[in-house]
Amino acid sequence: PRNTLSFLSGSFSLYKRQGLPHVPTAVLSRGTVGVAGRTLIVNLPGSRGGVMDGLGVLEGVLDHALSQIAGGDHERAGEQDASAAAAVKEQAMSSETAAGTGGESGERAVRVVLAEITEEKLDVAEHERLVADEAAGAVVSFAGVVRNHDGGRSVAALHYEGHPTAKDVLRSVVSEVAERHPQMRAVAISHRIGDLGIGDVALACAVSAPHRREAFAACADLVDTAKARLPIWKHQRFTDGTDEWVNSP
């Protein structure tokens, strides 16, 4: 990167945006696109997948990049992280609005009563109370609890680290699940970050629906999607004094 004299930040910003729908941690990717002499230089993340994705993005913007080399306007260096994070927020708010209003068709909207990232202790029973609805015949809840072992090793404690966009991503996840399960009456979900001990609740959620089959399906979808999408990473400390980051970028 130090040899890249003139930066074309917009190109790498596009690379991040392309990855956001599939990998929320795309906003953490590091790289630059710029010019050294008459050479276009692309510094991409080190993984094979990251390079392949980057080449795919550049194929569609190469002509534009060449025009930038010739003096066209482009986003200033250092702005790509902010713009990518803004893209996550815009996507989350857009999805939430679509699921939360029910449009003008007169359809009942799913009530999103809670979607938060917090350092406070979580209470699953409180989530159940929040989604209570007179039209709901079923309330299904889930508690993701810190266990004392992982991969055959004894766990002493752990720490969850969350990206600043985690709350926006969580809201987006809730909105998407609400769209897939419109029969839900209400949904509440929280993920805890910070230091947790054995037995502490890391993820709490509850959904209500007219029937149990609908409630079970929606709750399972919510948990699985949140686990796959949330930019929150676990740092485990083992009883033997070692430690490990799980699925961190």
CATH of the domain at 39: 3.40.980.10
Indicate whether 163 and 232 sit together in one domain: yes
For residue 172, what is the enclosing H or E element?
A: helix 166-180
Indicate whether 132 and 181 sit together in one domain: yes
Indicate whether 73 and 128 sit together in one domain: no
User: How far apart, in whole angstroms, are the C-alpha atoms of residue 196 and residue 13?
Assistant: 35
Residue 102 contacts residue 108 (beta carbons within 8 Å): yes
C-alpha dihedral, 58 to 61 to 66 to 68, nearest 10°:
-110
Which of 105, 106, 100 is closest to 177 using CA atoms? Answer: 100
Indicate whether 158 and 233 sit together in one domain: yes
> Which of 30, 60, 78 corresponds to the end of one domain?
78
Indicate whether 59 and 137 sit together in one domain: no
Domain that holds residue 46: 6-78
Indicate whether 149 and 222 sit together in one domain: yes
Indicate the residue type of 79: E
pTM over 0.85: no
User: How far apart, in whole angstroms, are the C-alpha atoms of residue 76 and residue 89?
Assistant: 21
- 3-class SS letters over 215-249: HHHHHHHHHHHHHHHCCEEEEEEECCCCEEEECCC
The verdict on residue 172 lying in a domain is yes
pLDDT of residue 247: 75
Indicate whether 40 and 118 sit together in one domain: no
- Residue 21: how many other CB atoms lie within 10 Å: 13
Indicate whether 74 and 109 sit together in one domain: no
The verdict on residue 97 lying in a domain is no
> Which of 78, 112, 130 corresponds to the end of one domain?
78
The verdict on residue 96 lying in a domain is no
- Residue 64: how many other CB atoms lie within 10 Å: 15
- The 10s digit of each residue's pLDDT in 87-130 is 444 444 444 444 544 433 345 789 999 999 999 999 999 999 99
Q: How confident is the model at residue 42 (pLDDT cuts 50, 70, 90)?
A: confident
Indicate whether 73 and 110 sit together in one domain: no
Indicate whether 112 and 191 sit together in one domain: yes
The verdict on residue 60 lying in a domain is yes
Structure tokens at 43: 């510094």
User: How far apart, in whole angstroms, are the C-alpha atoms of residue 229 and residue 221?
Assistant: 12
Split into its structural domains, the chain has a count of 2
Residue 233 sits in a domain whose CATH number is 3.90.1170.40
Reduced to 3 states (helix: H, G, I; strand: E, B; else coil), residue 123 is: coil
The verdict on residue 85 lying in a domain is no
* Tokens 């709490």 found at: 204
- The 10s digit of each residue's pLDDT in 55-79 is 776 666 666 666 656 655 444 444 4
The verdict on residue 99 lying in a domain is no
- Residue 59: how many other CB atoms lie within 10 Å: 8
